[in-house]
């Protein structure tokens, strides 16, 4: 069975718009920039998110810069695989590994950044949110190993929509202040838990059916 980690199944809400953005941006990438440059750029974006979030403790307007970094990370993440395929770099498995590991690192950087901002008695909720997001990642990778289908979008929500959600949160924080984020965290926890439960149920059901079909053969 050939490796399918570079082929994502499922389609998110913004997939059509995302494809148009990719087609528009690809010709504009300089030849000196390779796929691994774009992938590793997430290390820089992660450090900048933490730095600007720390500064947002003293001036909440720095969250506008955090949102700008999220957009930058989105662009490099959107283009790295496409550049690799166009230029035939051969870094399919390396790209799969590093791309998703660094996406996890970037998510951690964002949540660490929020920990600088929200009141202390709400910070424990960030731990549970991180655990839930990790649950989605673990589900994706384990499901991929069992089915050879790599799925990172659930109910039309994928990494792009999650980034957009973080940007919206930053905008609301910048306008209404820190209490908004603290107020919204319980709702994020509730709906994330519900979606993860449904996702795991549907995934295990699909894998069960695969096993049964193999057994019948």
> In terms of pTM, does the model score above 0.85?
yes
- 3-class state of residue 50 by DSSP: helix
What is the C-alpha separation between 36 and 22, in angstroms, rounded?
17
Q: Write the pLDDT tens digit of every residue in 142-189.
A: 998 888 888 888 888 888 889 998 998 888 888 877 666 666 777 778
Per cent of the chain over pLDDT 70 is 94
Who contacts 104 (Cβ-Cβ below 8 Å, separation ≥6)? 134, 137
> Taking residues 117-137, what's their average pLDDT?
85
Task: Indicate the average pLDDT of the chain.
Answer: 87
Q: Write the pLDDT tens digit of every residue in 61-78.
A: 999 999 999 999 999 999
Given this model, what pLDDT does residue 179 score?
61
Burial class of residue 83 in the structure, from the number of CB atoms within 10 Å of its CB (0-12 exposed, 13-18 middle, 19+ buried)? buried
Given this model, what pLDDT does residue 169 score?
86
pLDDT for residue 134 is more than 80 = yes
Given this model, what pLDDT does residue 6 score?
66
Question: Which domains can be identified in the chain, with CATH numbers?
Answer: 11-216 (1.20.120.1760)
pLDDT for residue 102 is more than 80 = yes
């Amino acid at each position: 069975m050939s490796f399918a980690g570079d082929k994502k199944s499922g389609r998110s809400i913004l997939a059509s718009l995302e494809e148009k953005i990719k087609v528009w941006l690809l010709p504009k990438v300089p030849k000196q920039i390779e796929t691994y440059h774009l992938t590793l750029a997430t290390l820089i974006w992660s450090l900048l998110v933490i730095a600007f979030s720390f500064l947002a403790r003293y001036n909440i307007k720095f969250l506008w810069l955090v949102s700008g970094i999220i957009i930058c990370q989105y662009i490099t993440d959107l283009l790295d695989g496409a550049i690799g395929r166009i230029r035939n770099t051969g870094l399919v498995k390396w790209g799969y590994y590093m791309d998703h590991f660094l996406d996890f690192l970037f998510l951690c950087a964002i949540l660490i950044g929020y920990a600088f901002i929200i009141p202390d008695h709400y910070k424990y909720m960030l731990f549970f949110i991180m655990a839930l997001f990790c649950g989605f990642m673990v589900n994706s990778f384990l499901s991929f190993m069992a089915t050879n289908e790599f799925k990172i979008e659930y109910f039309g929500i994928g990494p792009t929509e999650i980034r957009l959600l973080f940007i919206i949160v930053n905008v609301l924080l910048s306008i209404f202040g820190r209490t908004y984020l603290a107020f919204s965290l319980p709702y994020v926890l509730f709906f994330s838990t519900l979606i993860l439960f449904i996702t795991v149920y549907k995934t295990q059901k699909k894998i069960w059916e695969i096993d049964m079909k193999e057994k019948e053969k």
